[in-house]
Structure 1
């Protein structure tokens, strides 16, 4: 991608008449290149009793990314029919969480997904219980990881690194500094999910 990235924006999702519960939605946030998908992948292979939500994206999934692909027209049709619990746009792409997430939460379960920081307010309004996990890395490590993905030119990577946090005042229930190994970061997430399961009585 060589054109300047577009600012992120929230979608217009059909909110339920009442907040969805009694389960918990875990939103994993952080800038591109901090390793969210890798940390989620590590936890997904080891966590029991947690629904790891596949995002729907209008591009083919990248390496290590657990997602479904739709064309722009297909995505719009699903959105128009109320098939998403949350949507957002970023860098010329559309992202969505399938409405099936709500069934997990209504059943008292735990669902977790990689989401944009711009939709945290909407998710808090939608779900009775929202937990936020923020993943971060040092700027140097992030630059190397973004370059290794091979999706953007150097000036686009620089623009990403300079972009302000779209939700700077949002507090996180867990902060993961992913400068080390994926296993180290993944174990932190696993410990958090195990404790959450204990709290909600799903063990």
Structure 2
């Protein structure tokens, strides 16, 4: 495959959706498409611009081979449409909103995948989750405790994990992501 898969991951509330929305057009200018995930939650749910389907529809699509990647997390099913393979083969880079828990499996299918871990300070994350209003304080505390248990190393296998702090201004995070994509997704000229 000529394109590179950029696998963005991070805790809920870290700002992945905001980063993706803000970076979408600049990424497109760099030859990088952002894929919409298929999720088993209603289309009216607040959050990312995803395709909402029922659990039955999701399973039908998964069984039909409609997903390049799929996983379950937090009681929901997530799928990345198989059309990304065509984009990658045509030389386009693709950014997906992935799962930290599914990274190893994603690397098996896409060995040149570029993992990006979006991080955020706990105090900032707690405030974002509280403002979002989807969870109780007890659920937020439980989520923060789970996030503390996930400590990504500097690499998964041979793939270095790039950490991107999103505790400050979103524009700064976008600029750092774009710089990293320019550097990391550039063709290998060796």
TM-score (structure 1 length as normaliser): 0.82
Which digits, 9 at most, give the CA deviation of each residue in 1:24-62, with x for residues without a partner? 111001111111111111110322111101111111355
- Inter-partner Cα distance in structure 1 for 2:154 and 2:71: 18
The answer to which structure has the higher helix fraction is: 2
> Is 1:126 matched up with 2:109?
yes
CA RMSD of aligned residues (A): 1.8
- Distance in 2, matches of 1:95 and 1:121, equals 16
Distance 1:194 1:168, change over 3 A: closer
Match of 2:40 among 58, 68, 81: 58
C-alpha contact (below 8 Å) 1:24/1:128 kept by paired residues: no
The structure showing larger relative contact order (alpha-carbon pairs under 8 Å, at least 6 residues apart) is: 1
1:21-60 aligned at under 5 Å gives the runs 21-47=1-27, 48=29, 49-60=31-42
Partner of 1:151: 134
2:173 is equivalent to residue 185 of structure 1: yes
Structure 2: runs of 5+ lacking an equivalent: none
- Partner residue of 1:91? 74
Consecutive aligned runs of 4 or more in structure 1 exceeding 2 Å deviation: 60-64, 167-174, 194-201
> What are the ranges of 5 or more consecutive residues in structure 1 without an aligned counterpart?
1-20
1:119: Cα distance to partner? 1.3
Aligned with 1:162 (options 124, 132, 145): 145
Give per-residue Cα distances to partners, 1:138-189, cap 9 Å, x unaligned.
1000000011111111111111000121x63362442211111111111111
Q: Deviations over 1:81-101 (max 9, x none)?
A: 111111111111111101111
